[in-house]
Amino acid sequence: MDSIALLQRLVQIPSPNPPGDTRAIADFVAEQMRAIGCETRQLAPAEKPEALNTIAVLGAGEPRIMLHAHIDTVPIAATEAKKWSVDPYAGELRNGALYGKGSIDDKAPLASMMLTMMAAAQQDLLTGSLVLVAAAEEEVGGQLGTKWLADSGHLPACDFIIVGEQTGNKVATAHKGVMRATIRTTGVSVHATNPDRGVNAIVAMSKVISALDSYHRELSERVHPVVGSPTCNIGVIEGGSTANAVPDSCAIVLDRRMIPREEPEAVKAELRAVVESVDLAPATVAIGGFVYSSWFDSALDSGYANTFLDCARDVIKDDPGPVGYLPGSDAKHLMEVARGDMIIFGPGSYEVAHAADEHVTLADYQATTDILLNFVRRTLYVPSPIKN
């Protein structure tokens, strides 16, 4: 199967999440990898047996390099469906690009990785091993996908990890984490004819909001070299039920982006301190409902990283980075199995993912494959393996 046919085939196997049934695409990847002689396992968590992952291993022992791509896609929303100009599951070619849901996110990186496995399988003398992880559940946070695989001991420790996402074929070494929290103010409800007898929870919340806005501005003083500054955004507000009553309750939901090295517990304490610094009496305020996902950061100081940067520079004829990656990725779940550097890498921009007429240019897709192939050739093919 040539590279275009392979990517078309992957796009033609829908894997929207929700519902997140990845059995058909995981089976296809497993079949292809078995055919080239990989040792292949298929695994799913008991809580969601249809979230099937495939792990394929070529070669044996060390050094061990992981190629990771997710096999689920976002679903096609009703409003988005009308905007597609092609069948989103046909894998149509047009003007040098391949169109389809999941074409760039994340089936092109997956296809490039499968092609790399196929090329490596033809080498008689591979030193070490290549591990392909085709992971479910990334689009809903990866808890029952990559995180489950890592926590259950299904992923071996690896000397270099490449997580396929959309980085314009540059090398991304960090992304932010995210903390969500809910803040609620409580007052006393009375009829609106005499508001001073009540305690207005919305007015109280307005003071909390301005404190959080100042906090957001102060955060710009913290700067990470590739991902920039932390942020605090208030994305939801709810309160009151009618204009003719003083509201006794108001709630906001906030999204606090964490840069690498910011500890979740310290960020929670900061948010608590901001909220508690506001004088709201006699209204009261509470913060809770914290959920977070971690940032990811890699030093990029190994021989593998330098070799990868060289391979990327050779193909894209541009500065290969390092750069930051704005969305999150499964990299955050792989930090425990990374005993060396980990990068995020793949064709195109995440801005064309998750939207109508998602596509990948064939030139970008080819460049991704070329870079991966050169990297594996220079690190795992005998002779001339490099040492970390």
**Footprint on this chain of Zn ion (rule: CB under 5 A):** 105-106, 165
The H or E element that residue 212 is part of is: helix 201-219
The least distance separating Zn ion from the CB of residue 212, rounded to whole angstroms, comes to 30
Between CA 292 and CA 271 the distance in angstroms is: 13
CB of 350 to Zn ion, least distance (A): 7
Q: Which is nearer to Zn ion, 165 or 341 (CB)?
A: 165
Q: Which is nearer to Zn ion, 145 or 260 (CB)?
A: 145
User: How many other CB atoms are found less than 10 A from the CB of residue 81?
Assistant: 11
Cβ atoms of 99 and 355 closer than 8 Å: no
Give min distance, CB of 70 to Zn ion, in A: 6
CA distance 101 to 105: 8
Looking at beta carbons only, is 232 or 334 nearer to Zn ion?
A: 334
Residue indicated by tokens 């070799």: 307
Does an H or E element contain 228, and which?
none
**Nearer to Zn ion by C-beta: 63 or 100?**
100
Q: Any idea which residue has 């792990």 for tokens?
A: 55
Nearer to Zn ion (CB atom), residue 134 or residue 205: 134
CA 165/CA 70 separation, integer angstroms: 9
- Tell me how far, at minimum, the Cβ of 321 lies from Zn ion, in Å: 18
Q: How far is the CB of 105 from Zn ion (least distance, A)?
A: 4
Question: What distance, in Å, lies between the first and last C-alpha atoms of the chain?
Answer: 34
β-bridge pairing 323-324 and 64-70: unpaired
Judged by CB, which is closer to Zn ion: 129, or 169?
A: 169
Of 215 and 295, the one with the shorter C-beta distance to Zn ion is 295
Smallest gap, in angstroms, from Cβ of residue 159 to Zn ion? 24
Take residue 74 and report the two structure tokens written for it: 């976002």
Q: Output the CA–CA distances (angstroms, integers) from residue 180 to 160, 258, 291, 296, in the order listed.
A: 31, 11, 5, 17
Nearest approach, Cβ of residue 104 and Zn ion (Å)? 9
